[in-house]
Structure 1
Amino acid sequence: MKNITIIGSGNIGLSLAKGLVKSNLFVPAQITLTRRNVEALEEEAKLGFHVSDNNNSAVKNADIIVLAILPQQLKKVLELIKTSLTSTQIIVSVASGVSCMNIKAIIGTDKQVVRAMPNTAIAIGQSMTCVATDDADIKVVEKVEKLFETVGAVVVIQEDLMTSATALCACGIAFFLRAIRAASQGGVEIGFHAHDALKMAVQTAKGAADLLLQTQNHPEGEIDKVTSPKGCTIAGLNEMEHNGFSSAFIKGIKLSADKAGDLYEE
């Protein structure tokens, strides 16, 4: 991998660029960042990144092109750059709800297209990124995996599951944040100051996640360790379930998946 162009240098694009440099996979001089308002990339330019507001010229010497843009913007950008693309380049799209076939319908079926769906934890190198393709070479997919492993964990999935991955991982981070917020509000109601309650809720949530990651245990197995007969934990859990906690969470994920599949057409 020699040169990479990231089109749309917002939060995800910039976080990926910085992760690639931090991991020593690339140096700034190998990375071109594009944005309509190029003045917003002044700091990155000082760090040695190439910056541009011309997507067409920015892709010409790139080995990998990352489309870190909204699905509603994708058609216009693809139409602009398609004549500058070659079949040897790797096209990586992070646009929700846009299939590899949708992209190749514009830029040509001879192109190597891979989809990636990170989440906003990419900003701290803790993204959960799902990667998929229709028919790109396995070595191409492995290169894309390597890119996103610099900013978190990666799972390769079937492409027909990508909208589901958007709901569970990209939208899902907001769901877990809302759960933490609710826990902190509960903490305030039972007597803690807001800043203490939030810190306690955040660390408890982090501990729960790390517990599962490190032990590889099932959540219910860990829940069983905390619940005793006629105890306070099972009483609280059952009250939440009586009020639809799990059901609401599941319904929210399903609705987000339905919505994610429609974004490209809006």
Structure 2
Amino acid sequence: MMNKSIAFLGGGQMAEALIGGLVASQAAHPETICATDPMAARRDLLKSRFGIRVGEKNGTAVREADLIVLAVKPQAMPAVLSDVGPALSGKLIVSIAAGVTVAWIRERVAQPRAIVRAMPNTPALVREGVTALAYQPDLSADDVRAVRSLFEAVGSVVAVEERLMDAVTGLSGSGPAYVFVAIEALADGGVKMGLPRATAQLLAAQTVLGAARMVLERGEHPARLKDQVASPGGTTIAGLHQLEVGGMRGCVMAAVEAATKRSQELGR
């Protein structure tokens, strides 16, 4: 169990996922967690669902916590740091705001103990997320363990250089939306060929889940796994040919590139 009290500034979807993971995995006791949100209904929901402390004032939550999670939209970050910047002195700060750099935060915070930039993704809501963490040289081993525990409660964790965080945002941060589109398209194809909608959607979603698990657990290159399905002159190679004609690979790569560039723009 974590030995730090945690304050989530912003009670949005990702904060809810992280709080739920911490409580369910017993990585943190509910009494050590506080979340703020301007909406009373949202505060009431978090309190009733997880048994944590809630509040409207960011300053109060910051003063009572060791680890501060900046779980607000990038556009709201200037106002939040203007409000609580001085109170963050000596605190361990984790930011999950897309495009917001450590240097930018450091300029607006009075002597934080350390700042970690994180990019989780929405499958954290079902504890199957993946989070990229950019550590700074001044981060202690104890703080590294605390931050990893926070995100391991909702999935896998990888460490990257901060300069790569925009690319992470474009790939795994935005990637669930690309996969949802692929699942929808697979299901639509099944419906076009006569399958009932519910059956087609289940087949599509489970196929994506199973294929992803094979990549993770077998450790083989996706191309090799693809070749094992595509027999000579068979159905799969006929379908793969159509994906190549349609430019699927290029479209997906371009989507990651576009989202990465947008993350870079948000950070300027």
Aligned to 2:34: 32
Matched with 1:171 is 174
1:106 has 2:93 as partner: no
| Aligned-residue offset at 1:39 | 2.9
Give the alignment partner of residue 134 of structure 2, picking from 132, 135, 145: 132
Deviation of the 1:105 alpha carbon: 0.7
d(CA) in 2 for partners of 1:230, 1:2: 59
Name stretches of at least 5 consecutive residues in structure 1 with no aligned partner: none
Counterpart of 2:188 in structure 1 is 185
Name the TM-score, length of structure 1 as normaliser: 0.95
Contact 1:130 1:157 in 2 (8 A): yes
Aligned to 2:163: 160
8 Å Cα contact 1:72-1:264 kept in structure 2: no
- Partner Cα distance (2:237, 2:45) in 1: 51
> In structure 1, what is the equivalent of residue 69 of structure 2?
66
Aligned residue identity for 1:230: G
CA distance in 2, matches of 1:39, 1:234: 52
Q: Deviations over 1:116-141 (max 9, x none)?
A: 11111111111111110343315223
Q: Give the whole-Å Cα distance in 2 for the aligned partners of 1:190 and 1:130.
A: 40
Alignment of 1:207-226 (within 5 A): 207-226=210-229
Q: In structure 2, what is the Cα distance between the partners aligned to 1:124 and 1:136? A: 32
- Whether 1:239 and 2:242 are equivalent positions in the alignment is yes
- Distance apart, 1:239 and its partner CA: 1.3
Letter aligned with residue 90 of structure 1: L
Number of aligned residue pairs: 264
Contact 2:4/2:146 (CA < 8 Å) preserved in 1?
A: no
Residue 245 (structure 1) shift: 0.6
Contact 2:119 2:165 in 1 (8 A): yes
Rounded to whole Å, the distance in 1 between the matches of 2:138 and 2:11 is: 25
Contact 2:89–2:109 (8 Å) recurs in 1: no
Question: Partner residue of 1:8?
Answer: 10
1:109 positional shift: 5.2
* TM superposition shift of 1:197: 0.7
The answer to whether 1:118 aligns with 2:120 is yes
CA contact (8 A) 1:34 1:51 kept: yes
Deviation at 1:103, TM superposition (A): 0.2
For 1:257, which of 257, 260, 265 is the aligned residue?
A: 260
Residues of 1 paired with 2:137 and 2:120: CA distance?
A: 21
Question: 1:26 is paired with a residue of what secondary structure?
Answer: coil
Alignment TM-score, normalising by the size of structure 2:
0.95
2:204 corresponds in structure 1 to: 201
In structure 2, C-alpha distance between the alignment counterparts of 1:83 and 1:90, rounded to whole Å: 13
Distance 1:210 1:202 in 2: 12
Specify the code of the residue in structure 1 equivalent to 2:194: G
Are 2:101 and 2:267, in contact at CA under 8 Å, matched by a contact in 1?
Answer: no
CA distance in 2, matches of 1:201, 1:39: 36
* RMSD across aligned positions (CA): 1.3
Aligned equivalents of 1:143, 1:156: Cα separation in 2:
14
One-letter amino acid of the structure 1 residue matched with residue 80 of structure 2: V
Alpha-carbon distance in structure 2 between the residues aligned to 1:138 and 1:161: 22
Are the equivalent residues in 2 in contact too, given 1:127–1:151 (CA < 8 A)? yes
